[in-house]
Amino acid sequence: MTHIKEMVIVSGKGGTGKTSLAGALSSLFQGKVIADCDVDAANLHLILQPEEVLQTKEFTGGKKAKIDPERCTKCGTCREVCRYDAISEDFTIDPFSCEGCGACYFFCSAMAVNFSTRLAGHYYICSISGNGRFVFAELLPGEDNSGKLVAAVRNEAREEAVKTGVNFILIDGPPGIGCPVISSITGTHLAVVVTEPTPSGIHDLKRIVDLTHHFQVKTALVVNKWDIHPGYTREMKQYCAEQNLIFLGEIPYETAITKAQKEAKTILDFAPDCAASGSIREIYTKLHEILEEV
Ligand code: SF4
Ligand code: SF4
């Protein structure tokens, strides 16, 4: 079987331009599967504009309780044992407050509590231009993002890579450093951190690099809007050198990026000759070389 290489794009927080870069790079790589693992705010599909949804699959989350009023004797035991105040005086359960601990189910002598796994969302396998595949997920309202869903999206992406005979998966990871981010980066060949030159950007960069180092994932850095503060950009480059990270490149502030987002296009399609597009093409060239070696 072909050795499949996985690259994840992450950021210490949202709004750093991670998805814009993921969208632009997606259009440059040939023979790929794209996975949107930013399942809380999946929006890469708006830029990639999939041609067709080939398959829709269900994602089930943890268990939640529901009371059957026909069986309920209104004894009140469940309300006493629920530590999350999820059960109202008329014995209905608020699904948003229920933490799925199961106490009401186990203590109800009338067996009036139904305690089962519930549908938490869907994931979609789509075709995109150039015979590529794109996998993304949508959670139902009120459902929590989880590493489990990220893992499901990544598994589907791997299966699609095998089926379509490609050896590269590009993952748009969630922001932050929580459980879904860990699920996105573990076992990948390269993590690309996108950040901005601000004090919080430096702080977030260090936190996410701690994480990628912990999981022994090769890490590269892109500074977006580098020219809004060249001093912090210099500091980030220095940090890169100290931590043995790959400095992939810097993208200048470009108003056309916001306009491209509004038109659901990548910056490469919207303004191919602007400086930001040029920087992204340079980043792509470097990535291509790095991925040959990992
Ligand atoms: S413990 Fe069971 S029977 Fe008693 S109030 Fe709760 S659901 Fe109804
Ligand atoms: S499963 Fe736990 S949290 Fe949910 S209603 Fe029952 S006791 Fe409360």
Last residue of a domain, one of 99, 119, 139: 119
Looking at residue 145, its pLDDT comes to 62
Whether pLDDT at 119 is above 90: no
Could you tell me if the CB of 105 is within 6 A of ligand 1? no
> Is 262 among the domain residues?
yes
Q: Are residues 70 and 151 in the same domain?
A: no
Whether pLDDT at 206 is above 80: yes
Whether pLDDT at 30 is above 70: yes
> Is 180 among the domain residues?
yes
Q: Are residues 143 and 194 in the same domain?
A: yes
Full-model pTM: 0.85
pLDDT in tens, 175-200: 888 888 999 999 999 999 999 999 99
Whether pLDDT at 1 is above 80: no
Q: State the distance from the centre of ligand 1 to the C-alpha of 99, rounded, in angstroms.
A: 17
> Is 283 among the domain residues?
yes
Looking at residue 114, its pLDDT comes to 95
Whether pLDDT at 131 is above 80: no
Upper half-sphere CA count for residue 79 (Cβ side, 13 Å):
11
> Is 57 among the domain residues?
no
245-272 average pLDDT score:
93
Nearest ligand (C-alpha, residue 81):
2
Q: Are residues 253 and 169 in the same domain?
A: yes
> Is 124 among the domain residues?
no
Q: State the distance from the centre of ligand 2 to the C-alpha of 148, rounded, in angstroms.
A: 21
Residue 106: Cβ within 10 Å count: 11
Q: State the distance from the centre of ligand 2 to the C-alpha of 88, rounded, in angstroms.
A: 11
Which letter does DSSP use for residue 268 in this model? H
Q: Are residues 218 and 238 in the same domain?
A: yes
Q: Are residues 94 and 171 in the same domain?
A: no
Nearest ligand (C-alpha, residue 78):
1
> Is 56 among the domain residues?
no
Q: Are residues 100 and 207 in the same domain?
A: no
- Return the CATH number at 44: 3.40.50.300
> Is 74 among the domain residues?
yes
Query: Residue written as tokens 């150039």?
Result: 130
Q: Are residues 45 and 106 in the same domain?
A: no
Determine what percent of the chain is predicted with pLDDT higher than 70: 99
- Return the CATH number at 109: 3.30.70.20
Looking at residue 29, its pLDDT comes to 92
pLDDT in tens, 31-87: 899 999 988 778 888 888 899 999 999 998 888 899 999 999 999 999 999 999 999
At residue 2 the predicted structure's pLDDT band, cuts being 50, 70 and 90, is low
Q: State the distance from the centre of ligand 2 to the C-alpha of 38, rounded, in angstroms.
A: 29
Whether pLDDT at 10 is above 90: yes
DSSP per-residue string spanning 34-51? EEE--GGG--HHHHH--S
Could you tell me if the CB of 93 is within 6 A of ligand 2? yes
Nearest ligand (C-alpha, residue 65):
2
pLDDT in tens, 137-176: 988 877 776 788 899 999 999 999 999 999 999 999 988 8
Q: Which of 153, 222, 214 is nearest to 182 (CA)?
A: 214
Last residue of a domain, one of 75, 90, 119: 119
Please, what is the average pLDDT of the chain? 92
Residue 241: domain span: 5-51+129-293
Total tally of structural domains belonging to the chain: 2
Helix ranges restricted to H, the chain? 18-28, 44-48, 77-81, 103-107, 147-164, 179-185, 199-214, 230-243, 255-262, 267-270, 275-293
Q: Are residues 135 and 201 in the same domain?
A: yes
Q: Are residues 133 and 272 in the same domain?
A: yes
128-139 average pLDDT score:
88
> Is 76 among the domain residues?
yes
Q: Are residues 96 and 204 in the same domain?
A: no
Q: Are residues 142 and 36 in the same domain?
A: yes
Could you tell me if the CB of 99 is within 6 A of ligand 2? yes
Q: Are residues 150 and 252 in the same domain?
A: yes
Looking at residue 77, its pLDDT comes to 97
